[in-house]
Amino acid sequence: MPSAAGDPALETLLLPFAEGRLGWPEAADGVPPVLFLRARPGAALARHGRQGVLCEQTFRPLFDALQRDGYRVTEGGESRHRLVLLLPPRQRDEARALYARALDRAADDGVIVASLANDEGAKSGQADLARIAGPVQVLSKHHCRVFWARAGQDGDAALAAQWRGLDAPRAVAGGRFLSRPGVFAWDRVDAASALLAAHLPPSLAGHGADLGAGYGYLAAELLQRCPAVTALDLYEAERRALDLARGNLAAHAARVTLGWHWHDVATGLPRRYDFIVTNPPFHGHGRAPLPELGRRFIEVAAQALRPGGALWLVANRQLPYEQALGAGFGEVRMVAQQAGFKVVEARKARK
């Protein structure tokens, strides 16, 4: 998520309106005139009011933040709008699919406006939108670039049709899982998760949780290796990943009770568990490292474990989690250190 210092990409996204290059559309009927794809809240957006803006977001912390700020928020839709704003992701296939989707969601005379940081592919993003939408206009500020095009210009419709499917689910890991661009470690088995899976004891039993479950690799390994597990809840902030995990673990549903939670783990968990496994994220919704997020996962796990329960965690070796582990648990054991990662078992949670 953007830092307390602000959100330069969002500020730059709205620069054409602040400078009078574009007009903000007025609401005229029941459909909000503005659609904001991959929306984020911020003061620059709030200055234009909330009633005429429909926000689309699949990342739960941002979804919740937008709702708290009074915006109408959805996970997806098909409605068309006079203005489509977007903050494209870094992953190229996912971003190109989003540009094509923005073009589909724009009304016949609508405008598509996108913004990216210069060091996150702004120049390439501008070129991509121009390829499918036609000529674009550009402004730069805050080390970011905003670029916009009007629907109905001389863009490449065939290329846009091809790009719509670039972020579709596809087989990975030798066909064992379905994943899609933009999901964490989308095209492979994450090495840290594989290390943790290899060290999980077969004796894990009862009702457990996987915090930050991604497309379901670690949960699938756990259920294969630990036959005494009777129920497993998967918590994941990115809805696109959780939907994949649901399909990837379908074969286990006959043996264990599976729970699916589109949830921001940092807000706490709704129940207590016999064990918890996690490869906690250490970035928010951007590139900057956010080790406090991993520390919060450790705090939440300590609060959610039953007496005698265990946390099994993997992380990059240099991440400073030792203090959080010591504060949350009475017993911490280094299980393995390999290829830059560490696997830790923690017990005797301090409430």
On whether the CB atoms of residues 147 and 133 are closer than 8 A, the answer is no
| Average confidence (pLDDT) over 19-35 | 89
Is 131 domain-assigned?
yes
* 72-117 residue pLDDT tens: 999 999 999 999 999 999 999 999 999 999 999 999 989 999 999 9
Burial class of 119 by CB neighbour count within 10 A (0 to 12, 13 to 18, 19+): exposed
Domain match, 155 and 241 both: no
- Residue-wise pLDDT for 141-188, tens only, equals 999 999 999 998 889 999 999 999 999 999 999 999 999 999 999 999
At residue 250, the pLDDT reads 97
Q: Is 340 left (phi over 0), alpha (psi -120 to 50) or beta?
A: left
Asked if 74 and 143 sit in the same domain, the reply is yes
Domain count, the chain: 2
Quick one: average pLDDT of 309-337?
Answer: 96
Is there a domain that residue 3 lies in? no
Domain of residue 269 covers 170-349
Q: What is the pLDDT of residue 102?
A: 98
351 pLDDT band, cuts 50/70/90, is confident
pLDDT at position 279 over 80: yes
Give the pLDDT of residue 284: 61
Last residue of a domain, one of 163, 195, 216: 163
Same domain, 187 and 302: yes
pLDDT at 4: 40
As a whole number, mean pLDDT of residues 9-24 equals 97
- Residue 194: count of CB within 10 angstroms of its CB: 18
Considering the domain architecture, whether residues 116 and 180 belong to the same structural domain is answered as no
Query: Is 330's pLDDT higher than 70?
Result: yes
Q: Provide the token pair at 81.
A: 């709008």
Backbone angles phi, psi at 339, to 5 degrees: 55, 35
Between CA 305 and CA 148 the distance in angstroms is 50
Q: Is 26 in the same domain as 69?
A: yes
Residue 2 placed within a domain: no
- Residue written as token pair 């030792």: 322
Identify the CA nearest to 14 among candidates 37, 38, 47: 47
Mean pLDDT across 122-139: 97
Residue 254 burial (C-beta neighbours within 10 Å; 0-12, 13-18, 19+): exposed
User: What confidence score (pLDDT) does residue 1 get?
Assistant: 46
pLDDT band at 287 (very low <50, low <70, confident <90, very high): low
Q: Is residue 24 part of a domain?
A: yes
Residue that finishes a domain, picked among 130, 163, 196: 163
> How many C-beta atoms surround the C-beta of residue 266 within 10 A?
17
Bigger pLDDT: 102 or 287? 102
Looking at the structure, do residues 157 and 287 belong to the same domain, yes or no?
no
The confidence score (pLDDT) of residue 326 equals 97
> Which residue in 168, 166, 180 sits closest to 216, CA to CA?
180
Residue 283 has pLDDT above 90, yes or no: no
Say whether both 238 and 120 belong to one domain: no
Residues 159 and 176 in one domain: no
Same domain, 188 and 144: no
pLDDT at position 5 over 60: no
* 25 and 157 inside one domain: yes
pLDDT for res 233: 98
Q: Which residues pair with 258 in a beta bridge?
A: 232
DSSP state, residue 118: G
Q: Are 154 and 201 contained in the same domain?
A: no
Helices within 15-56 (DSSP H only) = 15-18, 43-46
Residue 293 lies in a domain: yes
- The verdict on residue 107 lying in a domain is yes
Distance linking the first and last C-alpha atoms of the chain: 29
Tally DSSP H helices, then E strands, for the chain: 12, 16
End of a domain among 163, 186, 221?
Answer: 163
Quick check: 290 pLDDT over 90? no
1 falls within a domain: no
Q: Among candidates 268, 287, 286, 285, which has minimal Cα distance to 276?
A: 268
Looking at residue 286, what is its pLDDT? 59
Tokens of 177: 């899982």
DSSP state letters, 62-74: HHHHHHHTT-EEE
The verdict on 147 and 176 lying in the same domain is no
**Mean pLDDT for the stretch of residues 127-140:** 97
3-state secondary structure of 212: coil
* CATH code assigned at 324: 3.40.50.150
* Residue-averaged pLDDT of the chain: 95
- Does the residue 337 lie in any domain? yes
Per-residue pLDDT averaged across 313-340, rounded? 96
